[in-house]
Structure 1
Amino acid sequence: MKPVFYLAAAAMIAVALALLLVPLIRQGRRQGRPRGVFVLALLVAFALPLGAVGLYLLIGTPVALNGVQKQPEAMSIEQAVAELQAHLQAEPKDAQGWLLLAQTYASLRKSAEARDAYEQVLNLQPDNTAAMVGWAESDSIVREDHRIEGRSLELLERAVQLEPDNQRGLWLLGISQFQHDRYAEAATTWRKLQPMLEPGSAVAKAVAEQIAVADTRTGHPPAPQGTPVAADGPALQVQVTLAPALKDQVKVGETLFVYARAEQGPPMPLAVARLDAAALPATVTLTDAMGMAPQLKLSSAARVFVGARISRSGQAIAQTGDLEGDAGVVEVASKAPIKIEIDKVRR
């Protein structure tokens, strides 16, 4: 019965959307608007309810566009995008057209193109909160380290100031604060988001979990409404030593990073510990609570590369002259101690 029910529900949604949108499309065509703009709008209208939850869970946003091929005319998403691009060349001041193009690029995972299109919206409408948040989100995906800082952070702060109930803006702002070790601020930001979410939903649980992690990082116990991180999650015990030949090269105040990143995927660590290099030799346990971003966790990978680095600058990004060592790739489920000797100088 479930497939029949879903098909019937989908058909009713399609009919309702057609009754609402097709007359608008016809009217727009009579006014000279290109067909692609309205076909793309119809595609987005069908895709939005289906894609929103998926993209929110993936990168922490409540809006997504997954192209759906159900349309009144036999036009592909690529053709519709091409017509919209042609329209924008003729009408470059159509802010809504640029916004639609940006959101469509984002749904197609063309983040650099999406960021450029959001830029066009901001040039026309500097206070467009959807474009602010979209630009910041796209920029974080394009960056190798996925950090939200600089202009992205400024846009998010401005967006939530103008629109305090902007769910995507609050979520991404909290991620940025978390990435910059501002855990108390991240927890406060996410607590503003909590009342806007459906109680008991997967998104609400994920936000509560991240609040608990942030509270733990600040030295406070998780808030009563938080969902604590599972105690049975992965835990990699890493034992780090320094090669005798390099002991004289370590200076007071330098920082030791112990990290695990996915064997295949973005270079951003799934778990990282930061210590004073003077603590060597040291033993660290890497867990899900030590990720740099809430959506990237140790438990999300089966195998990880485990390494250790003494940073001269104190920055998380490796630089020439840092001292390094690694244990290669290990299973996340491994219970045996992982031994690393820092024995190389980064060139």
Structure 2
Amino acid sequence: MIEFWLSAGLLLLAALAFLLIPVLRGRKAQAEEDRTALNVTLYQERLQELEGEHRAGILSDAQLQAGRDEAARELLADTEGAGRKARNGVLGSKVPLTAALLMPLLGYGLYLHWGAIDRVEQARSFAEQPQSIEEMTARLEATVKDNPESAEGWYFLGRTYMAQERAGEAAQAFERAVAIAGRQPELLGQWAQALYFAGNKQWSERLQQLTDEALQADPAEVTSLGLLGIAAFEGGRFAEAIEHWQRLVAALPEQDPSRQAIEGGIARARERLAAEGGAQPAEPAAEQGRQLLVRVELAAALRDEVQPGDSVFVFARAVSGPPMPLAVKRLTVAELPAEVSLSDSDAMMPQLKLSGFERVQLVARISRKGDATAGEWVGRSQPLASSSAEPQRLTIDSADAQGQ
């Protein structure tokens, strides 16, 4: 608020200047008038001196007239500028001074009546970065209190409550957002999720209705798909959980960081399903077809430096992501040149797959010790799309000084 009042003060000073400057000019004009009166008095005294000297016989008639003319010229020269300023006129000082005193009070009163100091304070508050989630919650609570018809305010308040594990209050906030904005799929999904956790993860007919309605309007509504997968997993329905989570992964962008956690959940569900002897759901067609074809060759200059039994690791790693490989194949130098394919089935970790990253780099490394992270010679490709269908060519041609 300091910035607001400083700005208001500067504007007030500018307004006062328009009123007070004429008053100051009036004082200067008064000084000019006083000076003119003094010059007239001196002129009259000079005439009396000249007439006295004429009567005493000191000055002749001609000298008397010349002295009078000289005194008149001096008076005119001194009063010419002042006379022009006096003719222009000035404002009286009482009216401007009174207006200057009343202006701040009048402006303050008008702002209290028509102004929006509360909105200014709210805008300033939201412009500052909150120091804690509790501070953010307090701001959002103040927002919905001042503007209870703000669907966005209720939505973000519900999200904040969920982050604080206050699911019951979050459910009320999402319900209010739905009442204002309508039954939008995203709001229904968030509302159902809050009700699920507020009810100790007990599935109900109401939750089923909310998620069915959300998915009917938007089959790729991510919160509903994730919630259905969680409920199925908690209920021991692992095949159903895998199905919902696979749909969720397909709906998320390639670079979405939550894909890894969801794929990890799918892998755990598959493990539990396998332990129970259940049939595994099929992989989505998009994931089955995601593979990179690579032809790996050895540079002619290195043929005398390697041994047939040296290990060759061919892998893809994310350009922007974790350093560990996403897909790996192991060969020997004796098998080079060789053509290999890298796909999700070659993943080292279930939550880190080739299909989970948009751009990757191909690496082929020769390691005499059988270490995939460090070796003697290496070849690297330029970054490329993980969905690329064109065969790639990778030549091992340089010393491996960096590792990884």
Compute the TM-score of the two structures, normalised by the length of structure 1: 0.40
Higher percent of residues as helix: 2
Larger radius of gyration: 2
Compute the TM-score of the two structures, normalised by the length of structure 2: 0.35
